[in-house]
Amino acid sequence: MRIIAHRGWWQNNKEKNSMISFQKAFLNGYGVETDLRDYCGQLVISHNVADCNSVLSEELFELYRQYGNNVPLALNIKSDGIQDILREQLEKYKVTNYFVFDMSVPEMVIYKQKNFQFFTRSSDIEKECVLYQDASGIWMDTFYDDDWKLFDSAKEGLNAGKCVAAVSPELHGKSRQKMWDRIKQEHMNTEEAFYLCTDYPEEAKYFFEKE
């Protein structure tokens, strides 16, 4: 299992999606999930509306080249039409262990056509995966029904040769313990192609490594 630090490894809200949080995650061997959008003709990192203080995506990719050690980058696409500039930067900084996700369906078609590594989605309110056969993996989420068949769907994806990234419940303000216990019970943490996106990467590492 690979641990993905949600918006980096941060200690307070101000550090989310910051260079400090990204570097800390990379230095400790964690992947990073972050948000990409355009601002004034540039690609920047921002979950919400961007401004002149938003971190440039190239700063992240340069940091990744220095410290990333090929951990996975989960790139949450917040704006339409950024494929070409993103491709240029991924190639410039030799980023290969990445996937894009959460774009609109029409944009997903374009990412497929341009041969990006993209994840489709599955959740308690998204019963059918769009472009499942073409996707590199599945981003699995839970909004309302914590008992939906997430683990059955995850196993199906893994058996089909796809990566599976599960959203830890604390990202939606819920307790993570039930899911983490189930991941361990189902031995999902032994699957190389299984990712867990969490706000608590250090706690996850300790929990899943202990007997």
Sequence spans of domains, the chain: 2-209
Cα distances from 183 to residues 91, 168, 194, 200, in angstroms, run 35, 11, 10, 15
The pLDDT of residue 68: 86
Residue 153 has pLDDT above 70, yes or no: yes
Q: Tell me the C-alpha distance between 181 and 206, whole Å.
A: 13
Residue 35: helix, strand or coil by DSSP?
A: strand
Residue 148 has pLDDT above 70, yes or no: no
The pLDDT of residue 20: 97
What percent of the chain is predicted at pLDDT more than 70? Answer: 99
Alpha helices in 41-149 (DSSP H): 57-67, 83-92, 105-113
pLDDT, mean over the chain:
96
What percent of the chain is predicted at pLDDT more than 90? Answer: 92
Cα distances from 133 to residues 17, 29, 110, 156, in angstroms, run 31, 30, 15, 13
Please state the CATH superfamily assignment of the domain spanning residues 2-209 in this structure: Phosphatidylinositol (PI) phosphodiesterase (3.20.20.190)
What average pLDDT does range 3-30 have in this prediction? Answer: 97
Q: Tell me the C-alpha distance between 20 and 40, whole Å.
A: 24
Residue 124 has pLDDT above 70, yes or no: yes
Which residues are bridge partners to 100 per DSSP?
A: 75, 118
Going by C-alpha positions, the residue among 163, 10, 180 that lies closest to residue 74 is: 163
183 by Cβ neighbours in 10 Å (0-12 / 13-18 / 19+) ranks as buried
Confidence label for 181 from pLDDT (cuts 50, 70 and 90):
very high
Confidence label for 146 from pLDDT (cuts 50, 70 and 90):
confident
The pLDDT of residue 131: 98
Confidence label for 149 from pLDDT (cuts 50, 70 and 90):
confident
pLDDT, tens only, 89-114: 999 999 999 999 999 999 999 999 99
Which residues are bridge partners to 167 per DSSP?
A: 197
Going by C-alpha positions, the residue among 98, 12, 112 that lies closest to residue 57 is: 98
Which two three-digit tokens encode residue 174? 């819920």
Q: Tell me the C-alpha distance between 130 and 142, whole Å.
A: 17
What average pLDDT does range 72-81 have in this prediction? Answer: 98
If you search the block for the tokens 């601002």, which residue do you land on?
39
The pLDDT of residue 127: 84
Following CA atoms 183, 186, 192, 158 in sequence, which dihedral angle do they give, to the nearest 10 degrees?
Answer: -110
Residue 202 has pLDDT above 70, yes or no: yes
For Cα atoms 152, 153, 155, give the angle at the middle one, nearest 5 degrees. 65
DSSP state of 168: P
